[in-house]
């Protein structure tokens, strides 16, 4: 036992020696991945580690993590070992003022219980890192009790009020803000900023354009938790913007004109008037809409076309991902002329295959003549329309729809090589009222698979991932269903002699 203990201590000593032999720049790099409480813990190892812990250029302070360690170190006190909010901020201040690095590369502060009495401490921290030429600034003042997707008049005064001097920080290359608020909409001077992320900031308190005008080199813009953006972001055409991410509960109007944009991601509950234009370099587009957060859509203000999305602006995207709601607002396919001419090589659909989605899926296949890879993630869905004016759109027999299509789809004829279907036999295809033994005859998912196998002339591989067993189906019954479905799929005729069907289930 004694020999074993000596051996373990010897191995630990060797590991410590090996780590300590690394150059300071590499050790600083390692420390940059740790929270400051853990960085400070390393100071007890040796004088060198103490110097390293007080000269690290990347600083990460997280109030949500555990308390500051009880070390014999001059920036720690009893209050910081079990810190209150003020105690935590004092710890941050002392750690900053003890830092001897000539430059601060990155400063992150996560603080969830903001109060106005904290302003002086926060202002002091920001002034300090700005004087040290901070490049990346990440301030997170998340208020979990509030939903800033829907800012009220009272909400607008809640959250840390950023000091005006921050808008003139010309050393910043990356700025992330969450649950903060701006002062008057002064023109910013972020002359080196390439990445900007704004989360849970009530846009009613400042004009986004006024901020963007001061970011001439901006390439990456993330907007999360804003309820309404009215009109266009007029500054975008003049920016070098390459990536735009927007996530919120609702956008009333979005007008995007970004000639250098390469990646577009929009996720929200509902989107009405919108326009995407002048995006010739677009490579990837992701639209995840639901319209489920409100009452079912009726069109008292106009025809269903009021929900038409500007798909034409997405035609250059080589990767396109759409949700069920996006698919439902696709025009009815005529199979004569192309509604759109997508250059998409990879199409990702997160949808069901219900009657109200079939037309959109067919139109997307018809309008994507160069499609090589298709991924269908089958999920539960529901129709976004309830107005009687929409009944004509679905005036067809969904049971025979895929069999009835006689048009020659260019992508199926020349390019589509791989198809991956996930959530198969899930997505609402089984319910407790259905007789499990009749599933093979009723499910539209199987009919869609049959359509692909019958028409995809150059198909090489189809991968089908089966959903988990429904709770109301017994294990023995589920195996019986899987066996029956597998036999049926294998027996379907295939247009491609090279087509391989892989049936995967747990």
Q: Is the pLDDT of residue 185 over 90?
A: no
| Local structure of 249: helix, strand or coil | strand
Q: What whole-number distance in Å separates Cα of residue 151 and Cα of residue 478?
A: 48
Least confident of 189-203, 258-272, 289-303: 289-303
Both tokens of 280, joined, read: 């010739």
DSSP, collapsed to helix, strand or coil, labels residue 477 as helix
Q: How far apart are CA 56 and CA 130, in angstroms?
A: 16
358-to-93, 334, 394, 443, 465 alpha-carbon distances in Å: 59, 13, 9, 13, 21
Q: Is the pLDDT of residue 9 over 70?
A: no
Tokens for 194? 């390439």
- Round to the nearest angstrom and report the end-to-end CA distance of the chain: 46
Which tens digits make up the pLDDT trace of 426-447? 755 555 555 554 454 457 899 9
> Where residue 317 falls among pLDDT bands split at 50, 70, 90?
very high
Residues near 38 by beta carbon (within 8 Å), at least 6 away in sequence: none
pLDDT at 83 over 70: no
Distance CA 101, CA 98 (A): 9
Tell me what percent of the residues of the chain surpass a pLDDT of 90: 33
The pair of structure tokens assigned to 245 is: 């991410």
CB-based contact 463:504 (threshold 8 Å): yes
CA–CA distance, 194 with 215 (Å, rounded to integer): 8
* Cβ neighbourhood burial of 391 (10 Å; 0-12, 13-18, 19+): exposed
Measure the CA–CA gap between 324 and 112, rounded to whole angstroms: 35
**C-alpha span between 274 and 270 (Å, rounded):** 11
Residue with tokens 């998409």: 344
Q: What are the pLDDT digits (tens) for 102-137?
A: 888 999 998 877 778 888 889 999 999 999 999 999
Give the CA distances from residue 248 to residues 87, 177, 229, 252, in Å, rounded to whole numbers and listed in that order: 34, 16, 10, 11
This model's pTM is above 0.85: no
With a cut of 70, say whether residue 333 has pLDDT above it: yes
CA distance 109 to 97: 15
Instruction: Identify the weakest region by mean pLDDT among 182-186, 213-217, 458-462.
Output: 182-186
pLDDT given at position 295: 45
CA distance 18 to 66: 29
CB 53, CB 80: distance < 8 Å: no
* Alpha helix stretches (DSSP H) within 346-474: 355-366, 401-404, 410-414, 439-442, 444-455
Judge whether residue 390 has pLDDT over 70: no
Q: What is the full DSSP assignment across 63-125?
A: TTSPPPP--S-TT--HHHHS--HHHHHHHHHHHHHT---S---EEEEE-SS--GGGHHHHHHH
pLDDT at 73 over 50: no
């Amino acid at each position: 036992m004694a020999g074993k203990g000596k051996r373990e201590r010897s191995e630990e000593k060797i590991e410590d020696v090996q780590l300590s032999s690394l150059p300071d720049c590499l050790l600083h790099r390692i420390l940059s991945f740790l929270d400051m409480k853990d960085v400070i813990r390393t100071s007890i190892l040796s004088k060198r580690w103490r110097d390293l812990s007080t000269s690290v250029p990347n600083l990460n302070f997280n109030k949500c993590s555990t308390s500051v360690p009880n070390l014999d170190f001059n920036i720690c006190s009893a209050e910081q070992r079990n810190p209150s909010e003020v105690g935590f901020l004092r710890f941050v201040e002392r750690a900053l003022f003890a830092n001897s690095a000539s430059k601060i590369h990155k400063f992150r502060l996560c603080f969830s219980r903001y109060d106005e009495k904290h302003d002086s401490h926060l202002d002091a921290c920001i002034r300090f890192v700005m004087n040290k030429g901070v490049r990346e600034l990440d301030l997170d003042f998340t208020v979990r009790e509030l939903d800033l997707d829907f800012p009220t008049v009272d909400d607008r005064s809640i959250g840390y009020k950023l000091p005006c001097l921050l808008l003139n920080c010309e050393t910043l290359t990356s700025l992330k803000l969450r649950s903060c608020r701006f002062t008057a909409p002064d023109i910013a001077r972020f002359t080196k900023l390439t990445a900007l992320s704004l989360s849970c900031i009530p846009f009613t308190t400042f004009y986004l354009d006024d901020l963007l005008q001061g970011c001439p080199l901006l390439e990456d813009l993330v907007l999360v938790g804003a309820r309404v953006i009215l009109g266009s972001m007029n500054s975008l055409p003049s920016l070098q913007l390459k990536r735009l991410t927007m996530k919120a509960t609702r956008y009333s109007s979005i007008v995007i004109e970004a000639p250098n944009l390469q990646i577009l991601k929009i996720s929200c509950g509902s989107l009405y008037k919108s326009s995407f234009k002048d995006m010739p370099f677009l490579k990837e587009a992701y639209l995840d809409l639901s319209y489920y957060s409100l009452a079912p859509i009726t069109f008292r203000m106009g025809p269903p076309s009021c929900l038409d999305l500007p798909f034409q602006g997405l035609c250059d995207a080589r990767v396109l991902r759409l949700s069920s709601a996006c698919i439902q607002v696709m025009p009815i396919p005529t199979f004569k002329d192309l509604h759109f001419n997508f250059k998409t090589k990879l199409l990702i659909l997160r949808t069901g295959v219900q009657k109200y989605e079939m037309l959109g899926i067919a139109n997307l296949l018809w309008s994507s003549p160069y499609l090589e890879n298709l991924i269908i993630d089958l999920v539960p869905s529901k129709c976004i329309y309830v107005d009687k004016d929409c009944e004509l759109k679905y005036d067809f027999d969904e049971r025979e729809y895929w069999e009835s299509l006689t048009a020659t789809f260019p992508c199926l004829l020349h390019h589509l090589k791989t198809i991956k279907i996930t959530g198969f036999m899930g997505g609402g295809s089984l319910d407790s009222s259905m007789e499990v033994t009749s599933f093979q005859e009723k499910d539209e998912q199987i009919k869609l698979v049959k359509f692909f196998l019958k028409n995809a002339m150059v198909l090489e591989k189809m991968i089908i991932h089966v959903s988990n067993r429904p709770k109301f189906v017994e294990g023995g019954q589920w195996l019986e269903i899987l066996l029956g479905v597998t036999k049926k799929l294998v027996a379907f005729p295939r247009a491609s002699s090279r087509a391989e069907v892989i049936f995967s289930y747990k």
